[in-house]
Amino acid sequence: MQAARNRRTIMTGLSSSPVLVTGATGYIAGVLIRELVQQGITVHAAVRDISKPERFRYLQDVVDELKGTIRFFEADLQQKGSFAEAMHDCSIVFHTASPFILQVKDAKRDLIDPAVQGTEIVLQQACQTPSVRRVVLTSSAAAMCADNWEGYTSNHVVDETNWNRAATLQYQPYSLSKTLAEQAAWVLAGSQTQWSMVTMNPTVVMGPGLKYHETNECFRLLQQLTSVSRIPRVGMGVVDVRDVARAHILAAYSSPANGRFLLSGDELTDLVQIANRLCRMFPDYPIPQSVVPKSLFWLVAPFFGVQRRFVENMVDIPRNVDNTKSKQILGMEYRPLDDTLRDMFQQMVDHGGVVKKT
């Protein structure tokens, strides 16, 4: 009953002070901003370049339609003090900004440094802004478990007590970036008493964005499905971006919320099952049904830029995660996987991101 009540309204007596959302043009951030504005909350949106309003016009349009209030501020994750104006008078900081790139040339430069330094700069500013009372950090389940084999050998189930230990600069560097950034955040949070912090650790985020984010890795994943004939069985957890946004807000305004929250839908799945579901819902699109054997994928993986260690540790191994804490503390109810996939793929269809069979 409590979960259903949370579905209808986040909570009564929401703070009248504004909140800050970093990385405002991001996939999760856009849906979060819409949800915040629907709750009557004024949003301070941090963007990289305020002189290019065309990049965030869609946010303003959605807020105008909802008759809400959003203010845009320029801020740089690698420049100390650049978040001071955006954070002024804010009671909550939603730090969603962090590089999400799976293929990089220089992992330290392109992933690790921006993620860690950006988090430190934002949280240091929170320490210098007296109005801030809570920070909600968008981390990742990747900070808990770098690959399925690591999770499988850790009591077979990943939860909030797990920390990724397998990732390196050479292997799963994105997981390493999220791990180091979250650990740095907890060090900073523990050094002061002004504000409390919670982290959101979603599995693979899918579902429709506020706009079609064609460069987002999750959208790219579905797009790539339509360009291959066979796929490996890679186990994964999936969570709807709309549920992720809602969890952020519930955690921000819920006093009992503390620590880390693993966010994942109730239906654990894999790449093959996802393709099967999409093929059933969108039969006119070239979605593969054939499975590439692990042994064959291992042989050819380097030719596709995939490490053999990834194949060994991810293919034909289930991803088991425990979302109990998010349900018990936040009252989360997760959308069915079919709804998430249908709405996301339909958005791609509507914007020409995928084409029908020829």
Which residue range is the domain that position 293 belongs to? Answer: 18-350
- Quote the tokens at residue 89: 């008078």
Q: What is the model's pLDDT at position 99?
A: 64
User: Which are the catalytic amino acids?
Assistant: 178
* CATH number assigned to the domain comprising residue 305: 3.40.50.720
Q: What is the model's pLDDT at position 219?
A: 87
Q: What is the pLDDT along the chain (358 residues), one digit of tens a residue?
A: 444 344 334 444 446 799 999 999 999 999 999 999 999 999 999 999 999 989 999 999 999 999 999 999 999 998 999 999 999 999 999 999 876 666 777 888 888 998 999 999 999 999 999 999 999 999 999 999 887 776 655 557 899 999 998 888 888 888 899 999 999 999 999 999 999 999 999 999 999 999 988 878 888 889 888 888 899 999 999 999 999 999 999 999 988 889 999 999 999 899 999 999 999 999 999 999 899 999 998 998 888 888 898 888 888 888 889 999 999 999 999 999 999 999 999 999 999 999 898 7
- Work out how many domains the chain is built from and give that number: 1
Q: What is the model's pLDDT at position 7?
A: 38
Residue 345 in domain: yes
Under 8 Å between Cβ of 117 and 78 = yes
Q: Where are the beta strands (DSSP E) in the chain?
A: 19-22, 43-47, 70-74, 92-95, 134-138, 196-202, 204-206, 230-231, 235-236, 238-240, 259-263, 269-270, 290-291
Residue 67 in domain: yes
Bridge partners (DSSP) listed for residue 132 = none
Residue 358 in domain: no
Which residues have CB under 8 Å from 323's CB, separation 6+?
262, 263, 264, 265, 266, 332, 334
